[in-house]
Every structure is written in structure tokens, then in C-alpha cells.
Amino acid sequence: MKNIFLVLVLVIFYYVACGDDSESTSEENLEQSITLKKDQQNLTALIDSVKVMYENTENPLKKTALRKERKNALKTLFNNRNVSNWKGELSDMNTSTDNQGKAYISVRLLGTNSIKLGTSYISDMFPVGSKLFNKLAEIEVGDIIEFSGTFRYDYEYQDHLDENSSTEYGSMHYPEFNFIFKSIEKYVPETAATDDQMDTSDN
């Protein structure tokens, strides 16, 4: 049953994604030119497809059942919760107000406007002077980053991947998953890297 549901939502996402995109901006075109890992594409397809199904369902019991089906599909796709070389836009970055001044971030996954990953737990934030803190100090909000890490497990057993929303509506429409970042790099498009190499060779 879980596999049937997963196939269904991926098929629905295919038809949604193939709709008219004539009004897409240059930034969207840039994003579309960036190759995403298959498991990242699977997550965005699942979340966005079930979101469409949720919006088109009026019965509140069926809406809640959809969340459970999504949880089962997430477990199938991300049983060990580890990912590598995913890409996203750094959408927020700040430091904690306590005397530790740890950095915390929020990242919008490329391929969707619905999904964010964040560091809500103090233990997942980045201490001053740490390798990732120093990396982030060289990155600006709005930059594209490439990262690896692990989704936190959902001990409330609602989404499989730990998620911040206080309501079912929030979880199904704009989920922000708690994530433990292991590596972060500013993403440099291959074309830009090639241009830099050409400039260097000419000097």
C-alpha cells in the first residue's frame, strides 16, 4: 500500500511539474539548470504532490489520513534519514540571543517553494569559531548552498522526519524539517567555475 501511494504522488507531481511555466523568472530558470540529487527530487515530488491532494480534499478525516500516508512514504524514501550533496537557498541566518551566540539557519530546498530545513535545536546550531560557523560567515542569505547531513527523527510519530509546524495545515503546506548539517559549501555553478578557470589561464 505504501509503494502504491508513493507511485501515485510521484505521477501526480509529474503532471503538475509539466504545467505552463512561461512566466518563470530568470532566477527560477537558474534553479532549473542546477542538477539535483535523485533523493532530493523524490522529497520535493512527494511533499508537493501530497500538498495538492490535501488542498483538493475537503473531508478533514481524509486530510489527516493523507498525512499518515505521507509519513509512510517518507519512511520508505528516507529510512536512515541521511542525505548528501543536496542543494538549497540559504533563506535565513542569525545567531542565538543567549551568551553562546550560536548560529542557526533555514534553507529552502531547490525544486520547490514549500520545503525548508532548519536548525531549531540548540545542539544542532553552530558554535562560534566552529568550521561550519566560519563557512556560514562567508555566505549570504539568498546564496545557493550544497550540503550534507541527517534529518532528525520524529519521536511524535507524525511525519517520520521531525517537523516544526504546530498544525497539520502547516506541516502539509509548508513543512520545515529539523536537520543536522554535517557539511555546507557555497554552490558555484559549473559554468562560473569554468569561466574562472579560463580567466586564470589568460593571465
What are the average pLDDT values for consecutive 10-residue runs of the chain, which has 203 residues? Answer: 57 50 55 91 96 96 97 96 97 91 97 96 96 97 97 96 97 98 92 46 47
Question: Which grid coordinates belong to 135?
Answer: 563557512
User: Is-contact 103 130, C-beta < 8 A?
Assistant: no
User: Is-contact 177 116, C-beta < 8 A?
Assistant: yes
pLDDT at 55: 97
pLDDT at 22: 44
pLDDT at 49: 95
- Its domain, for residue 188, covers 2-19+26-202
- Domains in the chain: how many in total? 1
140 alpha carbon, distance to own chain's centre: 18
Among 74, 50, 77, 83, residue whose Cα is nearest residue 64: 50
pLDDT at 157: 93
pLDDT at 196: 46
- Strand runs labelled E in the chain: 82-95, 103-109, 116-118, 144-151, 176-186
Q: What is the CATH number of the domain that holds 6?
A: 2.40.50.140
pLDDT at 28: 65
User: Is-contact 118 107, C-beta < 8 A?
Assistant: yes
pLDDT at 164: 95
pLDDT at 138: 97
